Amino acid sequence: MSHYALEFEKPLLELETKIEELRQLAANGTSDFAEALAKLDRKARKVQKEIFSDLSRWQIVQLSRHQARPYTLDYLKLMFTDFVELHGDRRFGEDPAIVGGFARFDGKPVMVIGHQKGRSTKENMQRNFGMPRPEGYRKAMRLMELAERFRRPIVSFIDTAGAYPGIGAEERGQAEAIAKNLEVMAGLTVPMVCTVIGEGGSGGALAVGVGNRVLMLEYGVYSVISPEACSSILYRDPTKAERAAEALRLTAKDLLGFGVIDEIVPEAPGGAHRDPGLTAKNLTAALRRHLGELEGMSAQQLVEDRYARFRALGVFDEEVA
C-alpha cells in the first residue's frame, strides 16, 4: 500500500501507520498488542467506510488520478499471461503513452491496448503523462486491425487526461488519427470490451473506447473535458474545478445512469491502489463475463451491436407544444 495520501485519506493513513507500528512492536515480542490492534483495526474500517461512502465528485476525480493507482501494465501483469508488446505505427514512430500487444486471457489469445502513465518524473516524461500523440493512436489502430485479421477479441484500458495538444501532434494530424480510430472501431468484426481504469479524458479516451461493452472502475471518471479546463472556460476561473466536476457528472454512477457505460466494476475498499490484486480479480470476472457473451455473436452481429449501443446514447427531455 502506498504511503502517499490524498487530503481526505489522511485520517485513515494515520490509523494505518499506528497499526503498522504496533504490529512491528508485536513482532519483536516485547509486548502483547493484540487487543489494541483489534481496536485500531475496527476503528480504521469504520473510518474508511465513513470516508468512501460519501465521496464528492471532485474527490473521485482525485482518486482516479492517485499516483499509486494501478496502470495498464499493472493490470497486464495481474490479469494476462504471455504478453508480447508490439511497437510503432509503421508511419512515424513509437509512442510509449500507448501500450499494446497480444496476450492470453483465461488461456485464450486476445489483443490488449491501453494508455500508460509513468510513476517517476523520468517515466512520466517518457510516457508523456499518458497523453498520446498521433503515432500512439495510429499504433492502436494498427493493433486493432491486426487483431481483426487474426480474429482475436480486443481489450482496451482507458486512462488518460486526453490526447497531447502540442504543436508537433497537431502537425502530424492528431484529430485525424482519433477520427480514423473511431471509424475503424465502429466497423470491427471482433468483440471489443473497453474499461476506464482511471481518467477517461475527451477524444483521447474515446480513441480506444468504442467497444461493444464499456466498463468503468468504481473510482474512475469519464468526461469530454477535465474539471480544470471546464472551470477555466465556463467560469473563467481554474480554481473552480470542484464546482465544474459536480456539473460534469463524470463519475461511474453518473454515467451508468446515463447509459454511457454498461457496468461499474467494484474496486478494493479504499480504492484500487490499496489492493490492486483484488481490483484486478473483480475486473477479470467482469471481462470474462462480457467477452463470453460476445463470443457467440457473428461478425455482423458484433458490428450492429456496437452501432446500436452508441446510437442509443443520450438522455434528454422532450417537450410537446
Alpha-carbon distance of 163 to 204, in angstroms, equals: 4
Residues 180-198: tens digit of each pLDDT? 999 999 999 999 999 999 9
For the chain, percent of residues with pLDDT exceeding 90: 75
Q: Which pLDDT band, with edges at 50, 70 and 90, does 10 fall under?
A: confident
Mean pLDDT for 153-174 is 95
What is residue 44's DSSP assignment?
A: H
Q: Which of 214, 225, 224, 154 is nearest to 184 (CA)?
A: 154
Q: How far apart are CA 105 and CA 288, in angstroms?
A: 8
Please say if the pLDDT value at position 32 is more than 70. no
What is the pTM (predicted TM-score) of this model?
Answer: 0.90
Beta strand 108-115 with 98-105 is antiparallel
Q: What pLDDT is recorded for position 30?
A: 60
pLDDT higher than threshold 60 for residue 2: no
Mean pLDDT of 227-250: 92
